[in-house]
Amino acid sequence: MTDGRSTGHGRRTAFATLQRGGLNLDSLPMRLFTKGNARHWNPADIDFSQDARDVADMTEHERWWTCTLAAQFLAGEEAVTVDLQPFVAAMAAEGRLADEMYLTQFVFEEAKHTEAFRRWFDAVGITDDLHSHVDSNPHYMEIFARQLPESLHALAADPSPRNQIRASVTYNHIVEGTLALTGYFAWAKVCSSRGILPGMQQVIKLIGDDERRHMAWGTFTCRRHVAADDSLWDAVDERMQELLVPAMGVVTHTFEEFEGEEPPFAVDLNELAEYAMDKLGRRLGAIESARGADVRAIDVDVAPEQLEERFHAEDLANHPLAAV
Query: Which residues contact Fe ion (rule: CB under 5 A)?
Result: 77, 110, 113, 176, 211, 214
Nearer of residues 106 and 233 to Fe ion, judged by Cβ: 106
Q: How far is the CB of 207 from Fe ion (least distance, A)?
A: 6
Q: How far is the CB of 231 from Fe ion (least distance, A)?
A: 28
93, 161, 187, 231, 238 from 158: Cα distances, Å:
10, 9, 38, 18, 19
Q: How far is the CB of 204 from Fe ion (least distance, A)?
A: 11
Q: How far is the CB of 7 from Fe ion (least distance, A)?
A: 28
Nearer of residues 96 and 113 to Fe ion, judged by Cβ: 113
Nearer of residues 74 and 298 to Fe ion, judged by Cβ: 74
Question: Dihedral through CA 284, CA 290, CA 295, CA 299, nearest 10?
Answer: -50
Q: How far is the CB of 32 from Fe ion (least distance, A)?
A: 12
CB-facing half-sphere around the CA of 87: CA atoms within 13 A: 34
- Residue 194 carries which side chain, given as an amino acid letter? R
Neighbours of 291 (CB within 10 A): 13
Q: How far is the CB of 217 from Fe ion (least distance, A)?
A: 9
Q: Which of 158, 148, 137 is nearest to 239 (CA)?
A: 148
Q: Are 70 and 63 in contact (CB under 8 A)?
A: no
CB-facing half-sphere around the CA of 129: CA atoms within 13 A: 3
Within the chain, residue ranges assigned H as helices are: 28-38, 49-56, 60-83, 85-93, 97-123, 132-135, 138-141, 148-157, 161-168, 181-193, 198-228, 233-256, 269-288, 295-299, 303-318
Nearer of residues 112 and 239 to Fe ion, judged by Cβ: 112
Rounded Cα distance between 185 and 190, Å, is 9
Q: How far is the CB of 247 from Fe ion (least distance, A)?
A: 15
Nearer of residues 75 and 240 to Fe ion, judged by Cβ: 75
Nearer of residues 96 and 213 to Fe ion, judged by Cβ: 213
Nearer of residues 206 and 287 to Fe ion, judged by Cβ: 206
